Amino acid sequence: AQEVAAGMPFNPNKAGEHGDASRTPQAGATCPMKHLFGGASTTGETTASDKVGAGIQPQGVNPTVDPLDRVRVDATGQRLTTNQGVPVADNQNSLKVGLRGPTAMEDFILREKITHFDHERIPERVVHARGSAAHGYFESYDNYSDLTRAAPFADKGKRTPVFVRFSTVAGERGSADTVRDVRGFAVKFYTDEGNWDLVGNNMPVFFIQDAMKFPDLIHAVKPEPHNGIPQAASAHDTFWDFVTLMPESTHMLMWHLSDRAIPRSYRTMQGFGVHTFRLVNAEGKSVFCKFHWNPVGGTHSLVWDEAAKIAGADADFHRRDLWEAIEAGNYPEWELGVQVFTEEQADQFPFDVLDATKIVPEELVPVQPIGKMVLNRNPDNFFAETEQVAFCTAHVVPGIDFTNDPLLQGRIHSYVDTQISRLGGPNFHELPINAPVAPVHNNQRDGMHRQAIHRGRVAYEPNSLAGGCPFQAGMAGFTTAFSSIDQKLQKPEDKVRGKPELFADHYSQARLFWISQTPSEQTHIINAYRFELSRVTVPAIRVRLLSMLANVDAELAEGVAKGLGLDVPAPMPLATNAKAPEYAPSPALSLLARPGSAGVKGRKVAIIASHGVDAAGVQAVYADLLKAGAVPRVVGPYLGQLKGVDGAMLDVEISFEAGPAVLYDAVVIADGEDSAKSLQMEAIALDFVRQQYNHCKPILAIGAGASVLKKLGVQDQLPSGQGDPSLWIVDAGGVTAALAEFKGALAAHRNFQREAEGSMV
């Protein structure tokens, strides 16, 4: 209790602002020292570990649920009010002067409603506008404090809440999910020492080396400014004009034209921090680090024809997949891996680790798994969470630090800056989804939409009136505060605009990527270049691209040239003095050579049928797939029930029209003479199976169902004379054995042998 000087004005509800009390630190202004040292909080907050979930949380419980609870709104059983809380009696009619008269100016209820509506939209993100997000947690496999003092890695089993947003780059907010593009992979860790954002992509390199070129790159890839065409596509003149004049983009283009740019789902793509970062331990010792997210569900992609069709059939394909998987309890998981190396090692590499167009091959520095991330809760509200979340590469925590990568350095500025116009001011960090769960205390004040009500009159430092609080965390022997690493410069550097010499090698890693792909992946890359460059209208751009590719691989350049009706021109001149290392193929760079997924969790299987189906057989297959974690769906000519052979009825869950083949990972053609005959009469059903076959997906035909394949001319022998390893034609007795193999093929996803052997129908 504080004494109040006699005769001083005194409001007992605001003791801290009057009398003697004002000369000692006040309750709301006290420093969080005790809190940080693990004792009871002076600010009424629970200890950090309670809030952030140090230690193991029960499965499905996300510690960010509590901090967001205070802002959740549920109107169940509530009456309708204005924004001022005034109950509203009539939400149908505006207030008029006479039933057929003009609306009264005083109708504040109408005006509030319309005014709010008029301002409902905020600017979309200047890039990565289209995205989807989910909550979850990161769990550390061990105590990695020898490597980094970053809070998420402090203990074995320690969980840190995360919010993750996946996105495309070029498309506008309403564009389709399956376009050819890089995917954003942004993770916000709500650590007990503040928020750490790892704002990465699903490809480990980038188009450019210096942030100076980012606006140019984005202006080139976005819809052309005169006509606003094309939406969410790089297949146009300005993009290819720019990148073919920027040979540093060669390596990234290989990734962009590969199947990585058309992922099957967010759940089956890798993520990368891209830049070289630093991990810093408690002694201040730092090492270099590259971050990798590896999906437990395997790395799988679409094929181009399918991606283009899905964009029409279900523009929300990836958004829906993520949402449905989480709702169904098929929580997507990734393992976090790090490549750790010292500055001395980096000096020996034949590339510069500050160059974001280069990877550190896994053969050179292996990826060490250090934890896993599980996404287990969908947002409550798309706008409040997914749209308003603000990621920023500058958001690092003690234990994580930057390098001098000139792309990263520019990003550190851009992300906070862009939120100021997108989210309307400097207080976006107070939006619930952005607010750290760690306590925030500083002397920043005011600005648009300030939420915090700071107590006391002290908003400066040094001060004595608030006992010096909030105090610099580096004081009092407090070791976990953020302090930038102590980097020794080898010699005094000149202020200079330029690039280090090794940045000039633009082709050897592009070649490494190319030679590491399987033949079918190489074919897809060639086809993608042909498609993109066919959409370009200026012939000189095509020629320039070919002269770029001629430096990567002759077969690649020739393959693309053939599709464009051109000869391969002379290669682009190489930069002088650039070392050109020769790499051996790296299987880690191929989607298909990477380890497959453990199972079929969340894979979609169509079971197609019509009247006269073996309903009991379908139900057995359905149950088996469901049990394995797959998502079976009975697809038929129309909604309603199918009459089975034995009189049993079977529900059709979706029609061929509403659930086309491209939405499924595999198909089962049900048994039943009449069913199979009807399917053969329906062009849409035949087309369904044709696409499943041509997109190289597993097919299981049971009994009479085999006749549908026959009608299409599908063989169970590939031209090479071998059986098709993803096609099963069995009678009812063989279903159990075939299903086991079918699930194996479903986990592996596709059999590109069909494509390679030209057995398409």
- Residues annotated in a binding site for heme: 125, 165, 214, 411, 415, 422
* Rounded Cα gap, residues 308 and 311, in angstroms: 5
Tokens matching residue 545: 């691209």
Q: Name which of 126 and 683 has its Cβ closer to ligand HDD.
A: 126
The residues, ordered by sequence, that sit 6+ positions from 91 with a Cβ below 8 Å of its Cβ are 80
Q: How far is the CB of 418 from ligand HDD (least distance, A)?
A: 4
Rounded-to-integer distance, Cα 219 and Cα 706, Å = 52
Compose the 156-195 pattern: x for residues touching ligand HDD by CB under 6 A, - for all others.
Answer: ---------x-x----------------x-x---------
Minimum Å distance from CB 130 to ligand HDD?
10
Distance of alpha carbon 458 from alpha carbon 451, whole angstroms:
18
Closer of 306 and 355 to ligand HDD (Cβ): 355
Residue placing its CB nearer to ligand HDD in the complex, 167 or 508 = 167
- From the CB of 49, what's the least distance to ligand HDD, in Å? 28
Among 410, 426, 569, 599, binds ligand HDD (CB under 6 A): 410
Taking 3-state DSSP, the helix, strand and coil percentages for the chain, each rounded to the nearest 5, stand at: 35, 15, 50
- For ligand HDD, which stretch binds (CB under 6 A), given 115-123, 197-205, 695-703, 726-734? 197-205
CA distance 425 to 423: 6
Report d(CA 760, CA 724) in Å as an integer. Answer: 12
- Pattern 417-436, binding to ligand HDD, x per CB under 6 A? -x------------------
Among 48, 151, 211, 396, binds ligand HDD (CB under 6 A): 211
Subset of 330-359 contacting ligand HDD (CB under 6 A): 356
Considering only 138, 144, 190, 206, the residue that binds ligand HDD (CB under 6 A) is: 206
Residues 449-478 that bind ligand HDD (CB under 6 A): none
Q: What number of other Cβ atoms are within 10 A of residue 65's Cβ?
A: 13
For the beta carbon of residue 21, count every other beta carbon within 10 angstroms.
20
The yes or no reply on residue 222 touching ligand HDD (CB under 6 A) is no
- State the CB neighbour count (10 A cutoff) for residue 91: 9
Contact 522, 754 (CB under 8 A): no
Q: Give the separation between CA 596 and CA 527, rounded to whole angstroms.
A: 25
From 278-286, 405-413, 599-607, 684-692, give the range in contact with ligand HDD by CB under 6 A. Answer: 405-413
Q: How far, CA to CA in Å, does 112 sit from each of 59, 374, 384?
A: 43, 42, 20
Residue in 540, 542, 566, 568 with CA at minimum distance from that of residue 554 = 568
Q: Give least dist CB 218 to ligand HDD, A.
A: 8
Binding region for ligand HDD (CB under 6 A) out of 404-412, 451-459, 586-594, 643-651: 404-412
Given candidates 407, 625, 663, 679, which one binds ligand HDD under the rule CB under 6 A? 407
The closest of 164, 165, 190, 157 to 58, measured between CA atoms, is 157
What whole-number distance in Å separates Cα of residue 65 and Cα of residue 680?
52
Active-site hit among 62, 195, 201, 378: 201
Could you give the CA distance from residue 677 to residue 700 in angstroms, rounded to a whole number?
Answer: 17
Of 351, 732, 692, nearest to 507 by C-alpha is: 351
For ligand HDD, the closer CB: 129 or 670: 129
Q: Which of 198, 233, 261, 274 binds ligand HDD (CB under 6 A)?
A: 274
Chain centroid, CA 96 distance in Å: 50
**What's the min distance (Å) between Cβ of 199 and ligand HDD?**
5
- In the list 86, 104, 105, 126, the residue contacting ligand HDD (rule: CB under 6 A) is 126
| Of the candidates 573, 542, 519, 584, the residue with the CA atom closest to the CA atom of residue 753 | 519
Q: Which of 19, 53, 63, 131 binds ligand HDD (CB under 6 A)?
A: 131
The closest of 28, 394, 374 to 211, measured between CA atoms, is 394
Q: Among 21, 199, 232, 322, indicate the residue that binds ligand HDD (CB under 6 A).
A: 199
In angstroms, what is the C-alpha Rg of the chain? 30
Residue 448 sits at the vertex; the CA angle it makes with 443 and 450, to the nearest 5 degrees, is: 50
- Residue 411 CB, shortest distance to ligand HDD, in Å, is 5
Do strands 368-377 and 333-341 pair parallel, antiparallel, or not at all (unpaired)? antiparallel
Closest among 288, 313, 290, 289 to 302, alpha carbons compared: 313
- DSSP character for 45? P
Annotate 48-102 with three-state secondary structure.
HHHHHCCCCCCCCCCCCHHHHHCCCCCCCCCCCECCCCCECCCCCCCCECCCCCC
* Residue of 701, 699, 702 lying closest to 725 (CA atoms): 699
Kindly indicate which of the ranges 76-84, 91-99, 406-414, 572-580 contains the residues binding ligand HDD, using the contact rule CB under 6 A.
406-414
Any bridge partners for residue 336, and if so which?
293, 371
User: Is the CB of 391 or the CB of 742 nearer to ligand HDD?
Assistant: 391
200 binds ligand HDD per the rule CB under 6 A: yes
Which residue's CB is nearer to ligand HDD, number 274 or number 631?
274
Answer whether 479's CB lies under 8 Å from 487's CB: no
Q: How far is the CB of 398 from ligand HDD (least distance, A)?
A: 23
Q: Of 360-389, which residues contact ligand HDD (CB under 6 A)?
A: 389
Rule CB under 6 A: choose which of 21, 52, 54, 127 binds ligand HDD: 127
Nearer to ligand HDD, 134 or 666 (CB): 134
**To which H or E segment does residue 216 belong?**
helix 214-221
- From 59-67, 206-214, 326-334, 640-648, give the range in contact with ligand HDD by CB under 6 A: 206-214
Cα torsion for 16, 18, 23, 25, to the nearest 10°? 10
Say if residues 70 and 435 touch (Cβ distance below 8 Å).
Answer: no
- Both tokens of 482, joined, read 């953020």
Active site residue 236: no
Q: Output the residue with the shortest Cβ distance to ligand HDD.
A: 184
Q: Does 525 bind ligand HDD (CB under 6 A)?
A: no
Q: Which is nearer to ligand HDD, 310 or 433 (CB)?
A: 433
Q: List phi, psi (to 5°) of 711.
A: -60, -35
Region near ligand HDD per CB under 6 A, out of 31-39, 144-152, 410-418, 703-711: 410-418
Residues near ligand HDD (CB under 6 A), total: 26
The interface region with ligand HDD, picked from 79-87, 199-207, 428-436, 449-457 by CB under 6 A, is 199-207
Nearer CB in complex with ligand HDD: 294/480: 294
Q: What token pair was written down for 430? A: 């107070």
- List the one residue from 138, 391, 428, 664 that touches ligand HDD (CB under 6 A): 391
Using the minimum distance from each CB to ligand HDD, give the nearer residue, 186 or 652: 186
Q: Which is nearer to ligand HDD, 253 or 661 (CB)?
A: 253
Residue of the chain from 415, 482, 531, 583 that contacts ligand HDD (CB under 6 A): 415
Nearer to ligand HDD, 285 or 413 (CB): 413
- The catalytic residue among 35, 62, 128, 318 is 128
Active site annotation includes 201? yes
- Whether 703 and 677 have beta carbons less than 8 Å apart is answered as no
For residue 26, which phi and psi values (nearest 5 degrees)?
-95, 160
> Where is the binding site, in residues?
125, 165, 214, 411, 415, 422
- CB atoms near residue 416 (< 10 Å): 16
Where does this chain touch ligand HDD (CB under 6 A) — which range of 74-82, 127-135, 154-162, 475-483? 127-135
Residues forming the site for ligand HDD (CB under 6 A): 125-128, 131, 165, 167, 184, 186, 199-201, 206, 211, 214, 274, 356, 389-391, 407, 410-411, 414-415, 418
Positions marked catalytic = 128, 201
